[in-house]
Copies of this chain bind each other. A is one copy, B any other.
Amino acid sequence: MEVFEVIAKRHSYRGPYLDRNIPREDLRLIVQAGIQAPSGTNAQTTEFVIVDDAELVAQIAALHPTNTAMRQAKAYIACLIDLRPEAVYEGYSFQVEDCAAAAENMLLAITALGYATVWVDGWLRIKSNGKKIGEMLGIPQNKLVRIILPLGVPAEHWAQREKKQFEQRAWYNRYQTG
């Protein structure tokens, strides 16, 4: 699918999924898109655990009370960063940005392949949800599940939420006047 079309179609999906498993070939293509994202000083800090084992999928699904996509996912992609990210440039770490760029590439890949997902992030930080998932996946103490993406073939048609107009968010040469 053409890249501008994918960018326009990409949307957060919190609805039900069809009862169809996702082939590992597709899971790999999606994560490969994440691997190819840029990272600060090319440090490639984001790691991925792809969850497609039925028992593990059910355990993660049971954690989320309201998000239908999280509850019905056929697979998940957990994106890991370091709990205490190492500085790679002038005392700064870019692991949060690295992870976000990888997630965005994967959202586009997911859209292009006909799946739907939602970027789940803040929810991992409350009620130890991220910690619980990390334990299920055997991640070491120094790693953190920063983002998780539920995956499936959408059973409903959703669309990108309305965005503010270009003129409300972008200007030429001078803030809010150009």
Contacts and interface: CB of A to CB of B under 8 A. Distances in A.
B96 A163 contact: no
Contacts of A36: 7-8, 10, 160, 163
A174 B122 CA distance: 23
A32 interface: yes
Contact of A178 (B33, B37, B49, B171): B49
B53 A173 contact: yes
Taking residues whose C-beta sits less than 8 angstroms from the other chain, chain A's interface range is 35 or more
Interface in A67-120: 80, 89-90, 92, 94, 96-97, 99-101, 103-105, 107-109, 112, 119
A23 interface: no
Given A47-B169, A48-B169, A50-B170, A175 B143 contact: yes
B2 A2 contact: yes
A108 B1 CA distance: 13
B44 A169 contact: yes
Nearest to A173: B53
Given A35-B170, A52-B173, A121 B94 contact: yes
Interface in A131-178: 137-140, 143, 160-161, 163-164, 166, 169-178
A136 to B, nearest CB: 9
Given A7-B36, A36-B160, A100-B101, 19 more contacts: A1-B3, A2-B2, A4-B33, A4-B112, A12-B42, A24-B172, A35-B163, A35-B164, A44-B164, A44-B169, A46-B169, A47-B170, A53-B172, A80-B175, A92-B125, A100-B100, A137-B173, A137-B175, A138-B176
